[in-house]
Structure 1
Amino acid sequence: MTQKLHDRTVLPPEETGPLTKMVAAFRDQGQAALVGPDGVPWDLPVEAYRVLREVLEAMANGLAITVMPRHTMLTTQEAADMLGISRPTLVKLLADGELPYEQRGRHRRLLLTDLLEYQQRARNERNRQLDALVNEAGEHNLYRDTTTPRPTR
C-alpha cells in the first residue's frame, strides 16, 4: 500500500513530562529498533533514530513539528517564515537572483532544497564575516582597549 507523503504540523501534547523522560533515556549507542503493533521489531537506520529523537525532544520542549519531503514547493510567505525574514525581503532576494524559483501564473514557488541550500550559504557567509571581524579586532588590539569599559553616564 502506497501512501502519498504530505506536510503536516504536529502540536506537542498538553503534558510533556513523559516525552521529557523518554528523551533523557535515549542514547546514541547501539542499534535502535521500532516495535510494531504486532510486536515485530524493525531495526532503525541511525538517521531515522536521530530524527525521531529530535522530534521528541522538540515536542518535550513544547514546540510544534513540521516534517516535509525535500521536493516540497513553498510559497513565498512559507519560505520567508522559514528564513525569519519578511515576504518583501524574500521577493527582493528572488529578484536579485539569490534564490531560484518557479513562476506559476502570478505566484512564485520555491523548492525546499533550494531554500535550505541558501540558508546554509547565508550561514557560512555570516560566519566567515564574523571571523574576519574578530581577526581584524585582534590585529588592532581592540580587545585590549575594551577590557575595562568606561562609564558612559
Structure 2
Amino acid sequence: MTTATPDRIVLSDDDATVLSAASRLMGAALDHSRANNVALVEEGTDGDIARIEVPPATLRVLSRVLAMMASQQVFLLYPADTELTTKQAADLLGVSRPFLIARLEAGDLPFRKVGRHRRMRMDDVVRYKESMRASRKGALDDVVADSESIDGYDL
C-alpha cells in the first residue's frame, strides 16, 4: 500500500516495481526518439480520447523522478528562484552555518538581506555546491599527481 503525506511518499514493493519498469520503458523509448514532442494519450471509459504533447526533456525528468521514487531515494523538486535561509543552505551544502556566512560575506555566493536575515536563491546554492565539488575533485587530483610523482604508491 502506498502512503503519501505532503512531504513524503512511501511506496509498496509492487508500486515500486511498477514505477521502476515505467522509468526504464520511458528511458528506452526516449533514447531512440528524435521527436520534438511526444504525445500522451488517455482513452476514457466512455471512448473519449484526451491527447497532450510533451517535450522529451520533460519526460526524461519524469522518468528520472519515477526511478528515484522506485528506489525510495529522497529528492527535492523546487523552483529555481526559491529562496533559502542560511540554515537551509548550509544543510544543503553540508557545511556549518558560520562557514556559509563567511563565504557569503566574502562574495562567493550571492545573497540578499531581508531585515537582518540573509536569503540565497536555490539555483545559486546548487551552482555553488557544484563548484565546491569541482574544487574538491581538483584538489584530490593534485594530491594524487603529487603522490605519483614521488612514487608514493610504490610503498
The two structures share one fold, judged by TM-score above 0.5: yes
Residues 58, 65 of structure 1: 8 Å contact kept: yes
**How far apart, CA to CA, are the structure 1 residues paired with 2:41 and 2:87?**
39
Match of 1:110 among 110, 115, 120: 120
- Corresponding residue for residue 34 of structure 1: 40
Give deviations 1:15-61, integer Å, cap 9, x for gaps: 42221222232312214443357633333323212211111111111
- Corresponding residue for residue 74 of structure 1: 84
Aligned residues: 138
Identity %: 33
**How far apart, CA to CA, are the structure 2 residues paired with 1:11 and 1:70?**
23
5+ residue gaps, structure 2, are 1-5
**How far apart, CA to CA, are the structure 2 residues paired with 1:12 and 1:64?**
11
**Normalised TM-score (structure 2):** 0.75
Q: Which has the higher contact order (CA 8 A, sep 6+)?
A: 1
* Structure 2 counterparts to residues 40-79 of structure 1, below 5 A: 40-79=50-89
Secondary structure of the residue aligned to 1:65 is coil
Q: 1:12 Cα shift?
A: 4.1
**How far apart, CA to CA, are the structure 1 residues paired with 2:70 and 2:140?**
33
Say if 2:99 is the partner of 1:92: no
- Corresponding residue for residue 151 of structure 1: none
Question: After TM superposition, what 4+ stretches of structure 1 lie above 4 angstroms from structure 2?
Answer: none
Distance 1:39 1:106, change over 3 A: farther
Distance 1:51 1:142, change over 3 A: same
- Corresponding residue for residue 149 of structure 2: 139
5+ residue gaps, structure 1, are 1-7, 146-153
Say if 2:129 is the partner of 1:123: no
Secondary structure of the residue aligned to 2:76 is strand
Give deviations 1:107-145, integer Å, cap 9, x for gaps: 110011211221121122112112211211111111122
Say if 2:13 is the partner of 1:25: no
